[in-house]
Amino acid sequence: MSKTIIKFGAEWCGPCKAIKPQMDKFKELIQKSDTIFVDVDVDSLETMDMTTKYKVRSIPYIVFLKDEIVEKTLSGMKTADELYKTFKEIYEN
């Protein structure tokens, strides 16, 4: 099973800056899980297709994929504990 987490954000976004320490803590919690993390800047022309594909309407926006299928999306500020809970619901059940 492949596990990918995509975080959409932008440098000018206050909540995107605020979620960074929470994402770092979350990554530490699951560091041995073979999960791929992708950070996407919504202002980059190269990522416009991804932003459209995953229907990003607000940032920060986090997409949890299992075997390349969207299992869940979260938007707005989240804590490491909230992210970990979502991770366990998706990948450990």
Active site residue 65: no
Catalytic pick from 10, 13, 29, 50? Answer: 13
Residue 32 token pair: 């041995």
What sign does the CA torsion over 31, 89, 48, 11 have? negative
Active site residue 13: yes
Catalytic pick from 6, 16, 56, 59? Answer: 16
Residue 16 token pair: 């995107």
Rounded to 10 deg, the angle between the 80-91 and 14-29 helix axes is: 50
Q: Cite the active site residues.
A: 13, 16
